[in-house]
A = this chain, B = another copy of it.
């Protein structure tokens, strides 16, 4: 199968213009098929404050009310997404910016209200991801730039976590492509010793992961990321690469930096 990179960038890339331009240059240079998923939370918070939309939390969980879904639709789907698309086009990368509503790529359901009403948050209908429409775009050499928005199929745009979108797209496209899922974050990779930035573990297999957990050395915050990586692998994704965007993209095919999870 053909190789496909599904690459997620977060705030440490998006929120710094220089980091973003540098990342996009490396991203554009990846010759394989590729999908970019971006967040944009800090920009949304900043513009929201200017609009008098204060972040709304219940029990420590952020709520997407009606004003907030309009805000993130503007900021994620418009401002951040189109700036990335225009920048990639200037780098001869044939980018097309989408949300999960475009081409019905990522259908979702509004999260059911239990203890907390999260508002306009979408839980992805994994089985309904539109592999056909994604395939048409990828086959014709469009590079998808995906904003973290989905829709309910009844006309409502929904807010969905970018990590979750990346993982869901990677899994869904594993039937057609040899997918490497890449999570760019603020560390150089998974650290064997959280106090030592040089202790990046180059390869984590499920056996290695058991040993690491038994030794209790890993930073607790990284465990969900690794668990998610193995979930994706168990559902068909070939491998997951975790590390610093500045390192990863320059060698994304060879993998000389970061942590590879297989």
Contact = CB atoms under 8 A, between A and B. Distances in A.
Contact of A140 (B74, B89, B136, B154): B136
A170 interface: no
A89 B73 contact: no
Given A74-B75, A89-B101, A82 B155 contact: no
B153 A103 contact: no
A103 B94 contact: yes
Contact of A142 (B74, B75, B87, B103): B103
Contacts of A78: 73-79, 81-82
A226 interface: no
Contact of A153 (B85, B89, B99): B89
Majority-rule SS of A interface residues: helix
A102 interface: yes
Contact of A77 (B82, B136, B140, B156): B82
Interface string A133-162: 100100010100000010101111100000
A97 interface: yes
Copies of this chain present in the complex amount to 2
Contacts of A18: none
A95 interface: yes
Interface string A44-80: 0001001110000000000000000010011111110
Interface string A73-117: 111111101110111011000111111011110000000000000
A94 B101 contact: no
A104 to B, nearest CB: 5
Nearest to A145: B102
A140 to B, nearest CB: 5
A62 to B, nearest CB: 19
Contacts of A90: 153-155
A81 B89 contact: no
A35 to B, nearest CB: 14
A25 to B, nearest CB: 11
Contacts of A133: 94, 140, 142
Interface string A187-228: 000000000000000000000000000000000000000000
